[in-house]
Each structure stands twice: as structure tokens, then as C-alpha cells.
Amino acid sequence: MDFKIRFATSEDLEDMLELIQELAVYENEPDAVQVTLEDLYRYGFGEEAIYKCFVAEVDSKVMGMALFYSRFSTWKGETVHLEDLIVTKPMRGKSLGKALFESVIMYAKTRKIKRVEWVVLDWNTNAIDFYEKYGATVFKEWRTVQLGEDQINNLN
């Protein structure tokens, strides 16, 4: 199967949002997506752009994406955080995820970035196995910590 990996453009936003919603369903959080097309535009292509995204295109249709952004580590310097690697269900197992993931790694490599990091759900054994094939370390002792909108707004 032929596919193309390229940087996303603003014309891809609807497809990207569909993929994000598909991921939310897969992760048993179908009502969790609050991001809008406007948000995706503003933070990916507007003056306040903070993320980059590779897309996998099959027959002129976006079928996968890898959304990532720069972070700063006090130990390593600039790092890349892979927020989401998503391939639509009918295209899984056809090397799109591998090509997207390797595009992010090559992006980091060409910029001499010392770490790429991401979060994976403990029950997503297919993803864990995929990442471990690259030699990734899946930490068991680190915990993801978040404050939600309500907690942020409750700060006096």
C-alpha cells in the first residue's frame, strides 16, 4: 500500500479532529474531546503555534497523525513530547504508525534533541509492544499528574 508522510497543513484540521475523536473512543473517553477546529488552527498554524504534526496520507485522505511539541528538560535541554500517535482503525497494521513514529524520531535526530517522550495507557499492550521494539523505556514508577479546568479555576 502506498502512503505519504508529510507535515500537516491547515487543510488537514477536520481529518485531524476526526482522528482525535476516534482515539478518544478507543481510549474509552468518547466525551472527553474539547478541542475545536479553531483550537487546532490557533495552536498549530496561527501566531501562537505550539505544536507540529505529521500526517499519513493514503489516496489523498489523512489516515493517521503524530502530533508533537517541544518541551524543555532541566536535565536534557530541548525534548520532544509526542502527544498522540493515531492511525485510523482500518489502516492499523499497514506501517502508517511506524512511519509516523519514525518521522518524529528523525525530526528529533536532525535537531540533535536528546529525548522523545510520551505517555501510553498501561492496558494498551499493542502500543507498549510497538514502542519497546524501538528500545523505549516504559516507566512503571512515574505517574502522570494533571490539574483539570475546575482545579485550575479554584485557585484563589
Q: Active-site residues: which are they?
A: 131
Residues in CB range of 129: below 8 A, 6 or more apart: none
Backbone angles phi, psi at 114, to 5 degrees: -90, -10
How far apart, in whole angstroms, are the C-alpha atoms of residue 76 and residue 111?
A: 13
Say which residues have a Cβ less than 8 Å from residue 3's Cβ, sequence separation at least 6.
56, 57, 58, 63, 94, 95, 96, 99
Question: What three-state secondary structure class fits 99?
Answer: helix
